[in-house]
């Protein structure tokens, strides 16, 4: 009996040691990843400030990232406003506060839902495409080909894409917010009768500068996170064609997660100052 207990204790110690070892192994690559992402970000800022500035490529990326995402972001924004309004109405109706519907929906869209949903959509559409494109460029030696031509591939490929994301996601957010409010207007009028001018009077009456400004600022960080992580995953892909899929997938997952983390930090900072 004593022997059995001792054996169990030894086994239990072995299991915990194994678990610790496994935990150690699983955490180590995570920290390595964070460290290399950090180095990648430093490299980005160094290259971004250094000529030559690839302005034409930056504009091309703005077109691909911004303009080509307009329809998707617009449709999503409209549905978002419409659904939020329809879902919120019954709850407000219980308190007899249906007249607050435009204000409540506007604050929700502008402050939180517009920037976050737009950024998550961009993480899915833009982040994955950047990750896959750069990974396939790496696998097919196109990045090496730029390097051997004496051209800095980081400047041409990474800096332009990250900057384009940084500037386009806030614009897409403004667009999604505007279309979201149109959706909310449609939602309000499904069961009510509110004029366009009254709806927007109520919306702008409820909104303050402190609702709009922090949300707009954080969307720059969302955009930068989407571009940076997409580029990081693609640029560091080293596993052949299988790595292309992995890079695209992990770019979306990591960018989406980082959007929520940035959002959490942004909310804390905003509430601290306001």
Contact residues: other proteins, CB under 8 A: 52, 136-137, 140-142, 144-152
Smallest gap from residue 213 Cβ to other proteins (A): 37
Q: Which is nearer to other proteins, 61 or 202 (CB)?
A: 61
Nearer to other proteins, 132 or 179 (CB): 132
Nearest approach in angstroms of CB 237 to other proteins is: 15
The total number of residues written for the chain in this structure: 274
263 closest CA partner among 222, 212, 207: 222
Cis peptide before 52 (omega within 30 of 0): yes
Identify which of residues 144 and 242 has a Cβ nearer to other proteins in the complex.
Answer: 144
User: Which of 106/130 has CB closer to other proteins?
Assistant: 130
Q: How far is the CB of 144 from other proteins (least distance, A)?
A: 5
Q: Provide, rounded to whole angstroms, the least separation between the CB of residue 22 and other proteins.
A: 22
C-alpha distances in angstroms, 242 versus 29, 120, 247, 249, 265?
A: 19, 24, 9, 11, 34
Rounded to whole angstroms, what are the CA distances from 107 to 116, 147, 219?
A: 13, 48, 16
Kindly state the smallest distance separating residue 80's Cβ from other proteins, in Å. 32
Residue 152 or 249 with smaller CB distance to other proteins: 152
């Amino acid at each position: 009996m004593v022997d059995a207990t001792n054996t169990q204790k030894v086994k239990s110690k072995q299991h915990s040691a194994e678990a610790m070892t496994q935990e150690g192994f699983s955490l180590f690559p995570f920290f390595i990843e964070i460290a290399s992402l950090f180095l990648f970000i430093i490299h980005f800022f160094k290259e971004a400030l250094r000529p030559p500035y690839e302005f034409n490529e930056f504009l091309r990326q703005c077109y691909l990232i911004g303009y080509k995402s307009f329809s998707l972001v617009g449709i999503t924004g409209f549905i978002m406003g419409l659904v939020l309004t329809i879902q919120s109405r019954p709850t407000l109706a219980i308190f007899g506060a249906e007249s607050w519907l435009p204000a409540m929906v506007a604050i929700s869209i502008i402050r939180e839902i517009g920037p976050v949903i737009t950024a998550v959509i961009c993480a899915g559409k833009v982040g994955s495409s950047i990750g896959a494109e750069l990974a396939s460029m790496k696998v097919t030696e196109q990045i090496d080909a730029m390097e051997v031509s004496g051209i800095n591939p980081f400047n041409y490929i990474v800096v332009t894409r990250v900057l384009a994301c940084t500037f386009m996601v806030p614009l897409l957010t403004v667009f999604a917010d505007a279309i979201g409010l149109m959706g909310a207007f449609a939602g309000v009028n499904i069961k009510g009768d509110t004029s366009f001018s009254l709806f927007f009077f109520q919306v702008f009456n409820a909104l303050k500068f402190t609702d709009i400004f922090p949300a707009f600022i954080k969307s720059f960080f969302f955009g930068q996170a989407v571009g940076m992580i997409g580029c990081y995953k693609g640029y560091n892909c080293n596993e052949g064609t299988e790595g292309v899929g992995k890079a695209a997938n992990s770019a979306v997952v990591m960018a989406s997660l980082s959007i929520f983390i940035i959002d959490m930090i942004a909310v804390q900072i905003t509430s601290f100052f306001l």
